[in-house]
Structure 1
């Protein structure tokens, strides 16, 4: 059990971390800081919050584990801001969906007596805000833990155990490996869903009245926050571009097969796609 857990900038993920930590007994005391005063006021009445700090520095002064739950670019800023206030032996992690640059910057920002281990729970929603959080958000979901080569094994183990205590299934990869993986399984799907909706938005508005569950299922994530995704695309630009290039090549192949009447090739692609989708459960 973590003696004192500090969560900075609790949106959907950070709020859910606090709820899950309290519900599952993963932390004895939970301290939270939020940027907006009205959010801090609202958090004071929540049963999963033991104290609300007025500043990030105040929130981390007695912490054993700090979770930076801000948007990706703000995570680096917070790491720099709290660095002078971090106690000896504290471990700092995050929930950012891009890791390579973030891990380097955060590790460089912290003092020698603090240890940074990146993490990314593959859990979320198109909804935002701690009000939409859930103590079960991480149950059965993959959580990447991304220690850099030569990182403190004990610190990585504590972060891993923490996410497991919240119900997550942990996977340890390097920050670079993480960014390649999520570019394909998360960032590319977002780009595709968003652009499909962008295309359909140019069509006859009456068409949307005839849309079935297939379109809704395919485009659910297009409702996600645009500002958040701009930051993700910026942070993981090279891997996202590579994933888009690979998809464009596959789409061009499908187009050519349809154009040439190569129905065996079309069938092969459809069947491979079905096999993969069925494997997701």
Structure 2
């Protein structure tokens, strides 16, 4: 893995005039709720694609204004958060670009950053600043109805500026996520995609594959398991549509990670087949040492 360059920020709390969240799902809704709870914006504006969702959002105490179109939503924006699915974020950036106030900031919550950051930067360059973000705070649950004002507390949030991006814009985006409770780390978009292929997308592929494999066995076995199987397969319950989009966007990095994992599994299988118990123990102990290294 490439070395990761991380910027450490000193933050001074500030309040946004108008925070705009487009297409709020779990993450976007949680941004709005957390910003409202922490007093980070004088006005929170949202837009949702479905009219019935906009109607329900108008009833929420953490929203001051619900716009009927993305273009109307961003006309007086200080910061825009693009919270749509990964494959719709670039489309939204291009749609709102002509309507953004000069100097406005735009970020997103997408799980894949390389192509997305370059396309969004190109779309709004000269009018506003785009700095990518990815809060590692998802859930197997979806929709703004499941949003909470504590979703980002003590969770990592990647901020992914392109080379040459405005330092002040990057600092403002980093401060925003920090004020929402997140632990901010700054990497390039391509570094982000390599990292998350290993620590997020690969675990999803493994959990899904294990659950799919066991689905072909006696379904009653599931009810005989302990917490180990529940823990290992929890994220297999995640939304398939969302993960198809992520795997499409980060295909090459995920394939590289899967290839390395196949080598690791082959090594374990070989040791087991050969009754090489010292090697099996060594692998178990290496795995335990790595797992024990997680922060509390």
Q: Same fold (TM over 0.5)?
A: yes
Q: Describe the superposition over 1:9-65 as per-residue Cα deviations: whole angstroms up to 9, x where unpaired.
A: 000000000000011111111000000001000000111100000000011000010
- Structure 2 length as normaliser, TM-score? 0.94
Give the whole-Å Cα distance in 1 for the aligned partners of 2:57 and 2:286.
Answer: 48
Where in structure 2 are the equivalents of 1:240-251 lying within 5 Å? 240-251=254-265
* Moved beyond 4 Å, runs of 4+: none
Alpha-carbon offset, residue 211 of structure 1: 1.6
Give the whole-Å Cα distance in 1 for the aligned partners of 2:264 and 2:73.
Answer: 49
SS at match of 1:3: coil
- Equivalent residue in structure 1 for 2:132, among 118, 142, 145: 118
Paired residues of 1:18 and 1:48 also in contact (CA < 8 A): yes
Give 2:203's aligned residue: 189
**Unpaired runs of at least 5, structure 1:** none
Give the whole-Å Cα distance in 2 for the aligned partners of 1:106 and 1:219.
Answer: 34
Alpha-carbon offset, residue 111 of structure 1: 4.1
- Equivalent pairs, count: 281
Give 1:74's aligned residue: 88
Give the whole-Å Cα distance in 1 for the aligned partners of 2:293 and 2:283.
Answer: 16
Paired residues of 1:193 and 1:219 also in contact (CA < 8 A): yes
Paired residues of 2:74 and 2:96 also in contact (CA < 8 A): yes
Give the whole-Å Cα distance in 1 for the aligned partners of 2:285 and 2:103.
Answer: 52
Paired residues of 2:97 and 2:127 also in contact (CA < 8 A): no
Where in structure 2 are the equivalents of 1:38-77 lying within 5 Å? 38-77=52-91
Q: Describe the superposition over 1:90-123 as per-residue Cα deviations: whole angstroms up to 9, x where unpaired.
A: 0100000000000011111114021100000000
Q: Does 1:92 align with 2:106?
A: yes
- Structure 1 length as normaliser, TM-score? 0.99
SS at match of 1:189: helix
Give 2:43's aligned residue: 29
Paired residues of 1:84 and 1:111 also in contact (CA < 8 A): no
Give 1:172's aligned residue: 186
**Unpaired runs of at least 5, structure 2:** 1-14
Alpha-carbon offset, residue 145 of structure 1: 0.2
Give the whole-Å Cα distance in 1 for the aligned partners of 2:156 and 2:262.
Answer: 28
Q: Does 1:142 align with 2:150?
A: no
